[in-house]
Amino acid sequence: MSGGLQEGKICGRRTSKNPSSQIVEEFQVLNNKVQVIFTSDFSNEERFTGFAAYYVAVDVNECTDFADVPCSHFCNNFIGGYFCSCPPEYFLHDDMRNCGVNCSGDVFTELIGEITSPNYPSLYPENSRCEYQIVLEEGFQVVVTVRREDFDVESDSEGNCADSLIFVTRDQQFGPYCGNGFPGPLRIETNSNVLDIIFQTDQTGQKKGWKLRYHGDPIPCPKEIAANSFWEPEKEKYVYKDVVKITCQEGFEVVQERAGLPYFYSTCQSNGKWSNSRLVCEPVDCGSPDPIQNGKVEEPEDTAFGAVVHYTCNEPYYYLQTEESGEYHCAANGSWVNELLGTELPKCVPVCGIPTEMFEGTQRIFGGKAAKIENFPWQVFFASPRAGGALIDERWVLTAAHVVEKERNPTMHVGSTLVIRDRLKNAQELTAERVFFHPGWEFMEDPDTRKNFDNDIALVQLKDPVKLGPKVSLICLPGKSSNYSLSKGSLGLISGWGKTEDKNHVVHLRGAMIPVATLRECQQVKPKNRNVNVNSYVFTDNMICAGGNGGIDSCEGDSGGPLAVKISDEGKPKFYVAGLVSWGPECGTYGIYTRVQNYIDWIMKTMQENSIPSIN
């Protein structure tokens, strides 16, 4: 037995086949150890002499006597053993059987060169790992070219690489490559100045190997440098140390910690990347649009360049002063801009002259009828002296000068029909900031003896703006055109809390419709009180005569209240304050009203020069 195998079995009587030799059987055991086993049983009918065996040690040639060659290159036999050796320039691996080649450690620094596998174009060595390195100066990239016919590296039947060629940079790997003919691109741009070349072979199969050429190109930087921008100078290719100025497109900016810049500079670096890559052109952000008084702006989903927002006014009491001024877009300079107003915010101006409900009185407040405050939402109540006024602006009340001649800080209310104390709690109380008298108004020490009511007009500036709504709104001012001129028979509405037929002041607002008359008709009134001489009063073109039809007239307590006349403005009926209750020869006849149209310039100038800035 040798190595667990039975080499032979002998029994019986044997004679030598060679007459000159006594050896009857010979065994050659390719092992340095053999076991001899002799077995007998109890049934021997005769006595046998047994056996005699002789052995001798014979040297084995491991280099030739085994099917598997123990050495990859040279096998050297000696008595009792063998050793492997390698050709020149090869070395013996640690397994003491396989040879490899010393092909690592070469570093190539020239800008152009050629590298081959060991022994090229002869067969390359097996069981080898060859490592080469190309190192160029910064700013250059290694470009490798391999011709198809210069490449033959072992692969299996399925195309998998038994041996392989690999190119490796810091950021990427090219390969592995193998096969008959180079399978990669004809030109490999590595974008790196350092390239490792690794050639790995196994212990089977050998081919002629490969040959490559390389050269250094200036490392290019991407042609597309930054989004949403343009740059100069423009070049077909940017390489190491090239500098460009990057300018953001309209509506974009470079956002930095403190401010936005329209441009920045970038340099092509040695690693093929642009400097200042953290800087990007981002859309200009206009931020949230500013609010406006008496209006609102829709909250935009986006406030960046090109975004659009719309302003609207609190309808139906306010409207945009400039048509088509509600749309704003985020401009390139970071401002919200309107085509008509630019960066100026739109203004919501109060609607004037449109009552919530029309007055339905047809009677021709003396002789009038009870009214709702919604019929005359511009009506202002003066508590002391008891009088009236017209709301013409959120901060301005128009009234007769004689009403505020003695009381420069009048108590006023709007929005209430009843002027009793409990009801006035729900009305808006108005506080006077200042009173402006027309410069032509003549002050008197004893106003009760006044005969001249020329220029009987005053403006009361309010400390705070009035809050408009269904019960409080403005009456329009007249224009200068002839459309606002009154003629005999023109109808107007008067309203107030003055005396009625029973000579008592009313607490419920009353209104009436009266016709316009001529001044001569007022001059011809004969008062019941013989002590009153109408001809002693001054009549001017600044006055309007109205009433005198069926006992309908304004009276004491109505002073300063408006004579409202309806006019069609662009097809929309509106009321404007044509006159202010000034004086009259006798209640129930005709009344004299200040002609407001004659004072438009003074009214507008006074309000403009003394306007109080609005706070949004």
pTM: 0.60
Q: What is the average pLDDT value for the chain, to the nearest integer?
A: 86
pLDDT digits (tens, 9 = 90+) for 438-491: 999 999 888 888 899 999 999 999 999 999 999 999 999 999 998 899 999 999
Q: Which residues are catalytic?
A: 402, 456, 559
Length of the chain: 616
The yes-or-no verdict on residue 362 having pLDDT over 50 is: no
Residue scoring higher pLDDT (301 or 577) = 577
Strands (E) across 497-589 are located at 510-517, 543-547, 562-569, 572-583
**pLDDT score recorded for residue 54:** 78
| Residue 123 clears pLDDT 60, i.e. is over it | yes
Beta 99-101 vs 90-92: how paired, if at all?
Answer: antiparallel
Domains, the chain, in order of start with CATH, read: 1-100 (2.10.25.10), 103-218 (2.60.120.290), 221-283 (2.10.70.10), 295-350 (2.10.70.10), 369-609 (2.40.10.10)
Average pLDDT over residues 211-220: 93
Min mean pLDDT across 465-469, 553-557, 597-601 is at: 553-557
Q: Work out the pLDDT band at 505, boundaries 50, 70, 90.
A: low
Query: Binding site membership: which residues?
Result: 41, 43, 59-60, 62, 77, 81, 154, 163, 202
Residue numbers belonging to the annotated binding site for Ca(2+): 41, 43, 59-60, 62, 77, 81, 154, 163, 202
Question: pLDDT digit string (tens) for 402-446?
Answer: 999 988 899 999 999 888 876 677 889 999 999 999 999 999 888
Confidence of residue 12 (pLDDT cuts 50, 70, 90): confident
Residue 30 has pLDDT above 90, yes or no: no
Residue 366 has pLDDT above 70, yes or no: no
Cα distance between residue 357 and residue 359, in whole Å: 7
Q: Please tell me the predicted confidence (pLDDT) of residue 596.
A: 98
110 contacts 97 by C-beta, under 8 angstroms = no
Local confidence band at 23 (pLDDT 50, 70, 90 cut-offs): confident
Q: Which of 180, 171, 113 is CA-nearest to residue 150?
A: 180
Neighbour tally for 80: CB within 10 Å:
10
Q: List, for residues 273-294, the tens digit of each pLDDT value.
A: 888 888 888 888 999 999 999 9
Give the span between the Cα atoms of 113 and 214, in whole angstroms: 5
* Predicted local distance difference test score (pLDDT) of residue 351: 94
pLDDT at residue 25, rounded to an integer: 79
Are the beta carbons of 295 and 318 closer than 8 angstroms?
A: yes
pLDDT of residue 57: 76
CA dihedral 363, 365, 366, 371 (to 10 degrees): 30
Nearest to 246 by CA among 284, 286, 277, 219: 277
Residue 575: pLDDT above 90? yes
